[in-house]
Structure 1
Amino acid sequence: MKTREYFKSGEAWVWLNAGTVAISLIMVIGVIGLIAVRGLGHFWPADVMQASYSAPGSTQTEIVLGEIYDRKFDTAARLKEAGLNIPPNKDSIERISLKLGNRDVTGMDFRWVFADGLSDISYPEDIVALERLEWGNFYGRLVSISENGTEVASGPAAWDELQARIERSNALLEATADIEKNEIGKINYGIEKLRLEERRLVIDNALTDAAKADLQARRDELNANYGVLSERLEALKAQADRDSVKLTAGQGQELTLKVSHIVHAIKPNDLNALQKLAVYFHNVWAFLSGDPREANTEGGVFPAIFGTVLMVLIMTVMVTPMGVIAAIYLREYANQGAVTQVVRIAVNNLAGVPSIVYGVFGLGFFVYFLGANIDQWFYPEAAPAPVFGSPGLLWASITLALLTLPVVIVATEEGLARIPRALKEGSLALGATKAETLWRVVLPMATPSIMTGVILAIARAAGEVAPLMLVGVVKLAPTLPLDGNAPFLHMERKFMHLGFHIYDVGFQSPNVEAARPLVYATAFLLVAVVVALNLGAVGLRNRLREKYKALES
């Protein structure tokens, strides 16, 4: 009897719901924690092990050098089926995955070895770990530093000399990149604008001798500036390629590298905890602020962060007024009859349409139809190369605005429905028009609900990938959509996105093992970006809610 009354009181269902929410919260925290540990742990400078290794059944011994990347236990029966000679007294054998680096020397980044075959394990303090622009990491020993082929330092003194020359080389490479991206990029942009301007004059039959002379004079000026910058660029590259370093790999192979190909150098086994922490934050910052390298498996993700945030902001600017206007019409102006109910049902159903359908619609309507017509009307001089008739930032933002529009409409309508009727009637009774009532009374009080819809829209749009693959996102964008060239925001350009970056690195990478930590790190970064955008919107909503709380009461 007491049990029946307990369930009839509803308290059991309250506890059931609370338990379900708690379990869901624990699962979400667990997933995010796993992603964070796997991703952020990648940037910690691991010690480099040196050991002698002899494979089971082999009498040959070799020196192996690398980071311990993973451990796994395999049954002896499974290994015997693979054709390996396993001792009869072993039921299971531990295998270790070593990150060898030195891909240009050994031809592989990782290698599985048997733990029982390792001996003479040590962590020498003179082991050097180099992060390179290509071919991944290098692990070995420093021999000497040379300048223009002449040795300038060797032995213990070579380490400090290497650090100084890496710093110098990085500064020269930054100056080189600045000239290539900004100054030469601006000149190339200007030359292309002149070409299009000349072609437009030809189309309009307005290319007079005076116009030709003016165009040629401007082109000559740009070419002269380009020549000056090219000479500066060649001089900087020559200075950066001046220094070289000689190293030995684990098996004793000698290798000579240009210092300009080295990004960062450390002695991981000689670092204390604070020094490793400093290296860790340096690696994290390089990941957040750098450009991708090596088919996106090395370097940073700044272009993807920039593209994701910019696209979400543009999408928000587009979807908010459209959703609010639609909700106001449905709630305040439309006759509340069968047609309006059908429209509301259609809006709710649109929220459940798969995102890839929106991508196909955006590609067909916005890119191939609307964009192609815009090119024909406003950019005939660019033909046959498309301007807006190609996937880009504008079409991606509009497509995601349509995808999230139902969320904003529904949330805004719910906010409008909660506003007391007496407030509207009081405003009208005091002589305000309906438009003034909407603008000064209704919309301010509905703003928190509007912001709730915007928050939900941001949360969904920031993580979408499928439609973006059709309407603007690319594996690698040579330039950002926002730069110093007028009109500064180039809505027609393609862009990078964190969600697509995760897909590309995780499933299209030629080196899956090396790319796996970056998949976790980028996934955690995407979650952090979505949370940051949402927190900003939540903070704004709370401020507006406090501002209009007195009016609601």
Structure 2
Amino acid sequence: MKKYFRSGEIFIWFTGMGLGLSLIMITGLLFLIVVNGKDYFWASELVQITRTDGSKQLGEIVKEEPIPNLNLPDSLWNKGLMRMQMKIGNRDLYGFDFQWIDEREIKNTDLPKFASTIERIEFGNFYGFVKEILVDGDVKVKGEEEIAKKIGSYLDITSSIRNEIKDIEKSKIGKINYNIESLRLEIKKIEFRDKNSVKNKNEIARLESEIAKENRKYEMLKMKVDSLNLLASRYAVYCEDANGRGKTIPMINIVRVYQPNNMSFLEKLGFTLTKIREFIFDDPRESNTEGGVFPAIFGTVMMVLLMSIFTVPFGVLAALYLREYAKQGPLVRTVRIAVNNLAGVPSIVFGVFGLGFFIYFIGGTIDQLFFPERLPSPTWGTGGILWASLTLALLTMPVVIVATEEALTQIPRGMREAALALGATKWQVVRRVILPAATPGILTGLILAMARAAGEVAPLMITGVVKLAPSLPFDSYFPFFHLDRKFMHLGFHIYDVGFQSPNIEAAMPMVYTTTLLLILIVVLLNITAMIIRANLRKKYKSATF
């Protein structure tokens, strides 16, 4: 046994066992996320429960669990009674989305063929039966089979109207608002300098006339939006819940209507693909608990790329100086210890530093020097994607420095000496020999930095991330990249929906799906960097590895 320990073979087994446990835990975590998030994309069956008192309830069965004995009378202990949580929707009728139903209350259950799930822009899902399609208040289609065939064509009409309204509001009206704000700021700039000169007075008058033109354009577009809303209001559906309680829903407020109990597997698969596309490319709605997460995806990826642009050059330069240029001694060792200790500082501390240094000091100074006419409303002296990226660059800098230094130590000393012997300068050796050979190690540091930065939330909460950003940091207006804007982030989106949502139970599928998406984005970013690293490692294999 003693000989067995000395050989070290047992430690190899322990290492393999640790790796196996890690893989099992990671797989289990991903499985848990997928299982809990799949209901967001899948067309779940609608179950109608008839209670012993004759009332009915229609909805999706979310989970079932045994009733604790403490909640049962002594005569029913250890009977294995169950209760189920049902998502009943119809928040505007009932005031809540979920209800627990005791097994003892259930008389029978069935799956009504024409039970419909109506996804709405507001108030969540409506579960019930579509009885009539109304146009201008008159019944145009009646009968569940006829409605199932024709409702799609009516929804296409209202959907196109809704998309046209959205396009006008976001693109055309958005451009007018942008122009008006730019003109208003020009007037403020002139008034800040000197508004009494004849030249400035004429310029202000010209700018005010431009604002008046933009306002007239706005009024015309507003009239067009009002007319489209009036057109859309002609179409509505009359629905009833399981107990016959009626509700008229304007079609402009309906995203889709489907009958999950009447759908084949292929139809449900097509529905899932549609939901996935909506989740990735659409904007959020209903307090971020429904719809898509495209602004959060864009903000996360852009922030990680900006962080990488800032952290890699400075991290590599710091590592090069410490390894190649600095005289090794107590001071350099102290700097290395400080860098290593920075990697263990809580992320919220970096967030507070970013708030104080980047936002209040640098941003506030920029506002005072270049945008004094806009004060007290800050331009750069408030949270934005630039300051958040710089804060995370500081957070991940130690990782890049340490990884780069490790890569530099692996380069054989003979390569340096050979290049110097051939007459190369120190900088030529660094640029032509050392940096190319160390690039795979530098990319390893970048991979670790991106993985950490993509999942950080605490520093972002005080440096620029918001619940809902009215516009992306990138658009068609010059200078195109607006680094002073606030942004959305998948990590904060998970926190907000999971813990700050007014209806947390209804938002849980969104939490799990967003978590899975964040993991996939991190993996894709890492795989991209790994592919580049593998190609570079193969290129310099003969010299470094």
Scaled by the length of structure 1, the TM-score of the pair is: 0.95
The answer for the alignment partner of 2:203 in structure 1 is: 211
After superposition, residues 191-202 of structure 1 pair within 5 angstroms as 191-202=180-191
In the alignment, is residue 352 of structure 1 matched against residue 344 of structure 2?
yes
Asked if the contact 2:69–2:77 (Cα under 8 Å) also holds between the matched residues in 1, the reply is no
The answer for the alignment partner of 2:311 in structure 1 is: 319
The answer for the alignment partner of 1:24 in structure 2 is: 22
In the alignment, is residue 254 of structure 1 matched against residue 246 of structure 2?
yes
The answer for the alignment partner of 1:111 in structure 2 is: 99
The answer for the alignment partner of 2:178 in structure 1 is: 189
Asked if the contact 1:408–1:454 (Cα under 8 Å) also holds between the matched residues in 2, the reply is yes
After superposition, residues 167-182 of structure 1 pair within 5 angstroms as 167-182=156-171
Query: CA deviation digits over 1:443-473, x for unaligned, max 9?
Result: 1111101100100000000000111111111
The answer for the alignment partner of 2:89 in structure 1 is: 101
The answer for the alignment partner of 1:515 in structure 2 is: 507
Q: State the shift of 1:41 in Å.
A: 3.4
Query: CA deviation digits over 1:15-59, x for unaligned, max 9?
Result: 1111111111111111111112211233211111112112xxxxx
Secondary structure in structure 2 of the residue aligned to 1:330: helix
The answer for the alignment partner of 1:43 in structure 2 is: 41
Residue from 328, 331, 338 that aligns with 1:336? 328
Asked if the contact 1:65–1:250 (Cα under 8 Å) also holds between the matched residues in 2, the reply is yes
In the alignment, is residue 486 of structure 1 matched against residue 484 of structure 2?
no
After superposition, residues 121-136 of structure 1 pair within 5 angstroms as 121-136=109-124
Secondary structure in structure 2 of the residue aligned to 1:96: strand
The answer for the alignment partner of 1:7 in structure 2 is: 5
The answer for the alignment partner of 2:354 in structure 1 is: 362
Asked if the contact 1:125–1:270 (Cα under 8 Å) also holds between the matched residues in 2, the reply is yes
After superposition, residues 406-417 of structure 1 pair within 5 angstroms as 406-417=398-409
Q: State the shift of 1:88 in Å.
A: 4.7
Q: State the shift of 1:159 in Å.
A: 2.5
Secondary structure in structure 2 of the residue aligned to 1:145: strand
Q: State the shift of 1:119 in Å.
A: 2.4
After superposition, residues 236-251 of structure 1 pair within 5 angstroms as 236-251=228-243
Distance 1:473 1:355 in 2: 15
Q: State the shift of 1:510 in Å.
A: 1.4
Secondary structure in structure 1 of the residue aligned to 2:383: coil
The answer for the alignment partner of 1:149 in structure 2 is: 137
The answer for the alignment partner of 1:65 in structure 2 is: 58
Residue from 269, 278, 292 that aligns with 1:286? 278
Residue from 266, 269, 272 that aligns with 1:277? 269
Secondary structure in structure 1 of the residue aligned to 2:113: coil
Distance 2:502 2:215 in 1: 40
Q: State the shift of 1:90 in Å.
A: 6.5
Asked if the contact 1:39–1:518 (Cα under 8 Å) also holds between the matched residues in 2, the reply is yes
Asked if the contact 1:404–1:461 (Cα under 8 Å) also holds between the matched residues in 2, the reply is yes
Q: Which runs of 5 or more structure 2 residues have no equivalent in the other structure?
A: none
Asked if the contact 1:101–1:109 (Cα under 8 Å) also holds between the matched residues in 2, the reply is yes
Residue from 363, 375, 384 that aligns with 1:371? 363
Residues 77 and 450 (structure 1 numbering): CA distance in 2 closer, same or farther, change over 3 Å? closer
Secondary structure in structure 1 of the residue aligned to 2:72: helix
Q: State the shift of 1:89 in Å.
A: 7.8
The answer for the alignment partner of 2:108 in structure 1 is: 120
Residue from 105, 114, 138 that aligns with 2:126? 138
Asked if the contact 1:75–1:92 (Cα under 8 Å) also holds between the matched residues in 2, the reply is no
Residues 27 and 276 (structure 1 numbering): CA distance in 2 closer, same or farther, change over 3 Å? same
Stretch deviating more after TM superposition (204-213 or 290-299): 204-213
Q: State the shift of 1:236 in Å.
A: 2.3
Q: State the shift of 1:316 in Å.
A: 0.5
Q: Which runs of 5 or more structure 1 residues have no equivalent in the other structure?
A: 55-59, 81-85
User: What letter matches 1:304 in structure 2?
Assistant: A
Asked if the contact 2:36–2:509 (Cα under 8 Å) also holds between the matched residues in 1, the reply is yes
Query: CA deviation digits over 1:291-330, x for unaligned, max 9?
Result: 2222222222111111111110110111010101111111
Q: State the shift of 1:255 in Å.
A: 0.7
The answer for the alignment partner of 1:83 in structure 2 is: none
Stretch deviating more after TM superposition (17-26 or 168-177): 168-177
Q: State the shift of 1:219 in Å.
A: 2.2
Asked if the contact 1:481–1:493 (Cα under 8 Å) also holds between the matched residues in 2, the reply is yes
Distance 1:398 1:209 in 2: 42
Distance 2:326 2:69 in 1: 74
Distance 1:297 1:438 in 2: 52
**Two-structure CA RMSD over aligned residues (Å):** 1.6
Aligned residues: 541
Distance 2:496 2:523 in 1: 23
Stretch deviating more after TM superposition (393-402 or 33-42): 33-42
Asked if the contact 1:76–1:93 (Cα under 8 Å) also holds between the matched residues in 2, the reply is no
The answer for the alignment partner of 1:74 in structure 2 is: 67
Asked if the contact 1:145–1:161 (Cα under 8 Å) also holds between the matched residues in 2, the reply is no
Secondary structure in structure 2 of the residue aligned to 1:165: helix
Distance 2:11 2:415 in 1: 38
- The ranges of structure 1 where at least 4 consecutive aligned residues each deviate by more than 6 angstroms after the TM superposition are none
Scaled by the length of structure 2, the TM-score of the pair is: 0.96
Secondary structure in structure 2 of the residue aligned to 1:204: helix
The answer for the alignment partner of 1:231 in structure 2 is: 223
